[in-house]
């Protein structure tokens, strides 16, 4: 999978790319390209943003700057990009990121992520260059970088080989293996601590009973905290 992130702060991704599962994915040939809008601005003095027409607070990423960065990366008119790849703009109003969307995205050969800063994007960027908007929650971040990292983290850990143990991404919270429910509780040694015992069934070695218990726990958790 080839992921490109467009941002004004590529250095913010340094920690992220050093994460084990991301490093594993990159080692396996997946790529994470970081493109700084500022490196491609056609404006003098490195300008990338401007004040909103009609007034209002904050600054907006300019459409000509984003176009120049996309052209430099893909060597085509970016209005043609959505025909060939998903171009996701990170915005608070977008489609909420969930396990279903993550599964959709991990099946893509390539993704482009556009991070906004300041007040966000000139609307024409979203209308003409992006295929969709994605939000990581109904709150406003100062920029799209953290949201892009959240999305990339969730997607890249599902790439085969990224976690190093394939089962863990299959049977986890919100997966179809657990009927979309949150994951069941886990325990490790010691088997008893301060009088708090690990559920007996987990020590039984009886795999069918353990599976049954885990599914029942996941269902109970889903009932306690129904998803929005
Ligand atoms: N940019 C600013 N806030 C955001 C959010 N909640 N999700 C995605 N991108 C954002």
| C-beta separation of 136 from 92 below 8 A | no
Q: What is the rounded CA–CA span in Å between residue 184 and residue 221?
A: 8
The label of the residue with tokens 């599914």 reads 215
Q: Tell me whether strands 110-115 and 86-96 are parallel, antiparallel or unpaired.
A: parallel
Residue with the smallest CA separation from ligand 1 atom 4 is 92
The predicted model gives 57-67 an average pLDDT of 96
Q: Ligand 1 centre from 184 Cα, in Å?
A: 29
Q: 114 CB under 6 A from ligand 1?
A: no
Q: Name residue 61's beta-bridge partners.
A: 49, 121
pLDDT tens digits for range 10-37: 999 999 999 999 999 999 999 999 999 9
Distance 194 CA to ligand 1 centre (A): 43
Whether the CB-CB separation of 7 and 38 falls below 8 Å is answered with: no
* Cα(194)–Cα(197) distance, integer angstroms: 8
| Structure confidence at residue 31 (pLDDT) | 97
Q: Is 196 in the pocket of ligand 1 (CB under 6 A)?
A: no
Summarize pLDDT for 93-103 with one digit per residue, the tens: 999 999 999 99
State if residue 88 touches ligand 1 by the CB under 6 angstroms criterion: no
Q: Which atom of ligand 1 is nearest to the CA of 138?
A: 6
Prediction pTM value? 0.92
Q: Identify which of 147, 149, 154 to mutate to test ligand 1's pocket (most ligand atoms within 8 A of the CB).
A: 147
Burial pattern 57-75, b for ≥16 Cβ within 10 A else e, equals eeebbbbebbbbbbeebbe
Q: Is 19 left (phi over 0), alpha (psi -120 to 50) or beta?
A: beta
Please give the pLDDT value at position 149: 98
């Amino acid at each position: 999978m080839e992921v490109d992130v467009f941002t004004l702060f590529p250095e913010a991704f340094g920690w992220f790319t050093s994460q084990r599962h991301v490093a594993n994915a990159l080692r396996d040939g997946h790529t994470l390209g970081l493109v700084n809008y500022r490196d491609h601005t056609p404006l003098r003095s490195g300008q990338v943003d401007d004040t909103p027409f009609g007034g209002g607070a904050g600054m907006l990423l300019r459409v000509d700057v984003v176009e120049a960065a996309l052209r430099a990366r893909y060597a085509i008119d970016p209005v043609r990009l959505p025909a060939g790849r998903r171009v996701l703009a990170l915005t608070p109003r977008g489609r909420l990121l969930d396990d279903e969307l993550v599964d959709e995205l991990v099946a893509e050969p390539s993704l482009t992520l556009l991070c906004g800063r300041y007040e966000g994007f000139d609307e024409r960027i979203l209308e003409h260059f992006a295929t969709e908007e994605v939000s990581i929650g109904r709150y406003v971040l100062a920029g799209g970088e953290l949201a892009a990292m959240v999305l990339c983290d969730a997607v890249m850990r599902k790439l085969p080989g990224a976690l190093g143990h394939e089962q863990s991404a299959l049977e986890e919270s919100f997966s179809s293996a657990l009927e979309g429910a949150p994951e069941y509780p886990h325990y490790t040694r010691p088997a008893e601590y301060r009088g708090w015992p690990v559920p007996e069934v987990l020590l039984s070695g009886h795999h069918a009973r353990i599976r049954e218990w885990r599914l029942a726990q996941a269902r109970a958790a889903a009932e306690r905290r129904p998803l929005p």
